[in-house]
Amino acid sequence: MPHLMLHLHSLLVQEQRRLVLWAPMGLALGAVLYFGLLRTEPALLVGFVLPCGVAVLASIAAWGMRYSLWGRLLWGGCITVALGFAAAWGGTHRHPPMPDLPRFATEISGTVQAIAHLPSENGTDAPFERRVELAQAVFYNALDDGMPPLRRVLSIYLQPNDLTVLRVGDQLHVKALLQPPPFLALPGTRDKQFEAWFANQAGSGRAVGYVQLEATAQMAWGHNKPQLWFETLRERMNARIHAVLPGPEGGVAATVLVGASETVEKQVREDFAASGLAHLLAVAGLHLGIVMGLVMAAGRLLLATTEYTALRWPCKALAALCAWGVGLVYVLLTGAHLPAQRSLLMAAVAVLGIAAGRRVVSMRGLAVAACVLVLCMPQVVMGVAFQMSMAAVMALVAGYEVLQPWLMRWRASTTGAGHWLAWHGAVLALTSVLAGCATLPVAMAHFGVIQPFFVVANMVAVPLMAVWIMPFGLLALALMPLHMDAPFLWLMGAGIRPVIGLAHMVAHWPAARVAVPHMPGWGLLAVMLGLCWVCLWRQYWRWAGCASLVLGMASPWLVAQPDVVISPDGGLVGVRDAGKIHVMGQSRAQRPVMQAWSQYFAQPVEMFPPQGETPDGALVCGAEDAPDTCVALLRGQDVVVRRQDASDGRALLPAALCVGVDVVISVAPLRASCPNVPIRLDRFSAWENGAEAVFLRKSGNVVRTDRTWRGQRPWVLKPGGHGMPVLPLAPSE
């Protein structure tokens, strides 16, 4: 043991300049501890004051032990984890509580904050359906009379035949049926309530009448915020792009130029996702890098054309600053989404490096950007955008750190156009492999898929995006005020068309999209820790992180999966048998719930007939004595499912069905049915606990519910989807 510790100390001494790169990981672990492991919300003293105190005391201890490597590691880890926990608590409580939305059609008035045009699912010839984001919304009903305006935003889907002309900043009045953010389809799946909490969303709804304008926007700089100006500009540019480029090309062009990703057709989006090109439809580092690279090259060339500026001015630094300014405008124009903000922050670090004459792309720059993001927006550590972008950039930097000497020798030895093309093709393939392999486990965890042909698709699509689509798109944006943008938009569409065809072709190759079961949280954590271990260290012990990577990627097959699942409203029951999920019952959210179950289990989901039987006889429905009931024999245990209740809900299950049964589930209230059954689940239990999953085991059956999985946190709505009541304002004196 002493020899092992001495050897470990020797390795850490050699890597001591890389220890600071682990600061973002400590901050992220603190945020994960707050978001993922707690089941009750800590108070101010425990959630913020205590971690800050721990960070201060750890800083004092680290200063006192500054000459001890182990002391710096211990107390440095305590500092970062405590700061990450405190930042997560503070970021959560900066947002207002979720309001309690009306459960009936309600008259609403509010200010249009954004307008999105959604392509109809019936085809491209159908009119677009609009979605408006309403801020400062007020409800007009007896219960909410005199309420203050909502501090969160409502998303209202307008009727397709509503032709009312709307602009950002307009005051409108509409009657809509609202619903809160949905509950989890299954414990462990995507948490849309968590996303809505940090996106400042209150819920969504559909208009049941036409919109009435109460007041139009005054688009003067002294009256409205710049955000409204940018939203209006985005809306006009989006309309212009679709006028010149109708069809799928216009949707992709509007996505990369103004961030209108909702206009991309469903089939095109699915093809891009299946072929590994989904990142082209998310404005992030690739698009910002192309924009800034083009602007920097043009700016530096322009400054170099004059002898005075070329000899006396820092042309490279000035061009970089100009490129970052254009990048800032581009990020605002595309909606300032989180991946774009992360990329802009990293670009700022690179520009500062250029201005200071330091190395531009480095692990330290990535660490600084990650630390700032986690401290300012700690919720990003739970999102797929942050995880994928950080994993890709980290793998690229680490990969080129190792391969750069070999690549430089090869480039110096190449002569001729053929060797030049081969070198660039190899670099492009290497970039796709590094980024794709690093993000593959993250895609497994969040989307449940593996895309083995992503390298082939990216080797063709990314160069087209860099040298054809984005340059002509930027020229079109620059000339749009002069109404000279149409030729460049046509050329941009000519480049988008083969990319769409490529995505469609690759998506239909055999095994282009391999489904994998749900990855548990500890598996994703093991993947990220292993990836950081491989990328952040430089000595031979870095390869020990491969064990953590393999363990994390194998985790979907190492954990037990539930045998029976119940939807959040209790209307759907799924039984896993013979490689399929047999679904019984009815629900308003039937389609999204079944899609979530299919992704979770990586198995097909199908509705089971009222009278049917599986080939192995494990599931039988529609027996003569109980026509609305199904009986399943799973893992040697009997499960009874009442799939519907044609009576008034007071009918009891036959007593004969309850004899020797281990689990009974009903889409209607069970009431006094089967009182001696160990596990009884019905619509009431689903209303109180959310989605439920039953694990059948010989040692004892286990029921996992949404309420026990997430606990009582600020973003978790109360039973029935209720939030904080919106109390009326006090009467004025």
C-beta of residue 726 within 8 angstroms of C-beta of residue 150: yes
C-beta of residue 389 within 8 angstroms of C-beta of residue 342: yes
Helix (H) or strand (E) holding 42: none
How far is residue 200's CA from residue 203's CA, in Å, rounded to a whole number? 9
Residue 43 covered by a domain: yes
Domain membership of residue 610 as a residue range: 564-710
What pLDDT is attached to residue 218? 57
What pLDDT is attached to residue 122? 47
Same domain, 627 and 575: yes
Last residue of a domain, one of 217, 241, 271: 217
Going by C-beta distance under 8 Å and a sequence separation of 6 or more, which residues neighbour residue 160?
Answer: 120, 126, 127, 128, 129
Comparing CA positions, the residue from 446, 462, 465 lying closest to residue 454 is 462
Q: Find the mean pLDDT for residues 536-560.
A: 92
Same domain, 586 and 678: yes
Same domain, 189 and 72: no
Same domain, 136 and 182: yes
Residue 533 covered by a domain: no
Of the given ranges (90-104, 173-187, 271-285, 717-731), which has the lowest mean pLDDT?
717-731
Q: Find the mean pLDDT for residues 313-332.
A: 89
Q: Find the mean pLDDT for residues 296-306.
A: 87
What's the number of domains the chain is made of? 3
**Secondary-structure percent of the chain, ordered helix, strand, coil, rounded to 5:** 55, 15, 30
Last residue of a domain, one of 217, 234, 264: 217
Helix (H) or strand (E) holding 69: helix 69-93
361 confidence band (pLDDT: 50, 70, 90): low
What pLDDT is attached to residue 645? 67
- List, as one string, the DSSP characters of 539-605: SGGGGGHHHHHHHHHHGGGTS---SEEE-TTS-EEEEEETTEEEEEE--TTHHHHHHHHHHHHTS-E
Same domain, 123 and 144: yes
Q: Find the mean pLDDT for residues 665-693.
A: 90
How far is residue 271's CA from residue 251's CA, in Å, rounded to a whole number? 14
Residue 593 covered by a domain: yes
Phi–psi pair at 693, nearest 5 degrees: -135, 135
Q: Is the pLDDT of residue 154 over 90?
A: yes
How does pLDDT run across 50-77, given as a tens digit for each residue? 999 999 999 999 888 888 888 888 999 9
Same domain, 36 and 131: no
Same domain, 73 and 112: no
125 confidence band (pLDDT: 50, 70, 90): very low
Same domain, 590 and 700: yes
Residue 245 covered by a domain: no
What pLDDT is attached to residue 426? 78
Same domain, 146 and 49: no
689 confidence band (pLDDT: 50, 70, 90): very high
How does pLDDT run across 413-449, given as a tens digit for each residue? 767 777 777 777 777 778 888 888 898 899 899 988 8
Same domain, 637 and 703: yes
The model's pTM:
0.89
Going by C-beta distance under 8 Å and a sequence separation of 6 or more, which residues neighbour residue 181?
Answer: 98, 192, 193, 195, 196, 201, 203, 204, 717
- Residue 434: DSSP 8-state: H
Residue 621 covered by a domain: yes
Residue 148 covered by a domain: yes
Residue 163 covered by a domain: yes
What pLDDT is attached to residue 221? 40
Same domain, 642 and 701: yes
What pLDDT is attached to residue 382? 92
C-beta of residue 286 within 8 angstroms of C-beta of residue 279: yes
Phi–psi pair at 38, nearest 5 degrees: -75, 145
Identity of the amino acid at 473: G
Indicate the average pLDDT of the chain. Answer: 87
We report the CATH number of the domain holding residue 197 as: 2.40.50.140
Highest mean pLDDT among 192-201, 355-364, 379-388: 192-201
% pLDDT > 70, the chain: 94
What pLDDT is attached to residue 168? 84
How does pLDDT run across 504-547, given as a tens digit for each residue? 999 888 888 889 999 999 999 999 999 999 999 988 889 999 99
C-beta of residue 290 within 8 angstroms of C-beta of residue 346: no
Q: Find the mean pLDDT for residues 466-487.
A: 90
Query: Tokens at residue 98, please?
Result: 């979720």
Residue 50 covered by a domain: yes
Last residue of a domain, one of 65, 94, 123: 94
How does pLDDT run across 589-604, given as a tens digit for each residue? 899 999 999 999 999 9
Q: Is the pLDDT of residue 709 over 90?
A: yes
% pLDDT > 90, the chain: 40
Alpha carbons within 13 angstroms on the beta-carbon side of residue 532 total 21
C-beta of residue 691 within 8 angstroms of C-beta of residue 683: no
What pLDDT is attached to residue 90? 95
What pLDDT is attached to residue 680? 92
C-alpha 550, offset from chain centre: 24
How does pLDDT run across 86-95, given as a tens digit for each residue? 999 999 999 9
Select the more confidently predicted residue: 691 or 239. 691
Same domain, 139 and 85: no
How far is residue 215's CA from residue 435's CA, in Å, rounded to a whole number? 49
- Residue 131: DSSP 8-state: E
Which whole-number Å values give the CA distances from 228 to 112, 220, 232, 234, 241, in the listed order?
A: 9, 10, 6, 10, 20
- The residues facing 693 across adjacent strands are 565, 704
733 confidence band (pLDDT: 50, 70, 90): very low
